[in-house]
Structure formats: structure tokens, C-alpha cells
Amino acid sequence: MTRVRRPSAQTMAVLQALAERPDQWRYGYDLCTQLGVQAGSMYPILIRLADRGLLETGWETERVPGRPARHLYRLTGAGRAYASAAAAAAPATSPAPATSPAPATVPRQSRLQGT
């Protein structure tokens, strides 16, 4: 029996970002910076999507001196269909990924005040 799970919020964000321009090749770092997702989360998501046949992968063909070739990703036909179906099935009021607010800083008072 195959288990069907809803994609995580991060996976949905990746799918949506790739679905914005489905014919364009994207690289992982570009997606990390666009979505604010750490590389340690992004690359496992991309690998899982590719293993499921939802992403087409390839290596950058134009070499830039001083930089290694980048791995590129784009949605397959099945990936486009999955992204559309997942977006349609997502709750309309799904909250954005939670971010921690910056801690409030209170100015320290000098002990030497008044001396």
C-alpha cells in the first residue's frame, strides 16, 4: 500500500517557485535565496522531487572560470501537474512559514550614572 502525504510548506514553496517559470532551469542556491530556505533543507527536497520524477536535472553547460558547474533543476510534465494539484489541494488560508521575531534589545544602563 502506497502512503500519500501532503508536501511540507517548504516543498510547496519550492514547487511554486519552479512552477512560476516551468521552462526555466534553476539552480539550488538561487532557490535558497529566493525562498529563504537553508541549503541543508533545499537540496534534500530537490533530490526527493527528482527521485519521484517531478524534476528534470542537469549540469550547467557554460563554464565560468573559478566556479564549479552548477546542478540545474526544472519541473517535468508530471512535476507541473503535481505542483498544480498540490496548490489546488492546499488550504486557502495556509499560514506562511513561521519566522522568529528578532529579540528586543534593551539599552543597558551604565552603573556609573550619577557618580
Q: Which residues in the chain land under pLDDT 70?
A: 1-4, 91-115
Strand order in the sheet with 26-27: 26-27, 71-75, 55-59
Q: Report the sign of the C-alpha dihedral through residues 34, 26, 76, 2, in that order.
A: negative
Helix, strand or coil for residue 54? Answer: coil
- All residues at 6 or more sequence positions from 15 whose CB lies less than 8 Å from its CB, including other chains: 7, 49, 54, 75, 79, 82, 83, 86, 87
CATH class of 9-88: mainly alpha
pTM for the whole structure: 0.72
pLDDT at 56: 96
Q: How far apart are CA 6 and CA 111, in angstroms?
A: 56
Q: Which pLDDT score is estimated for 62?
A: 85
State residue 74 phi and psi, 5-degree precision: -155, 160
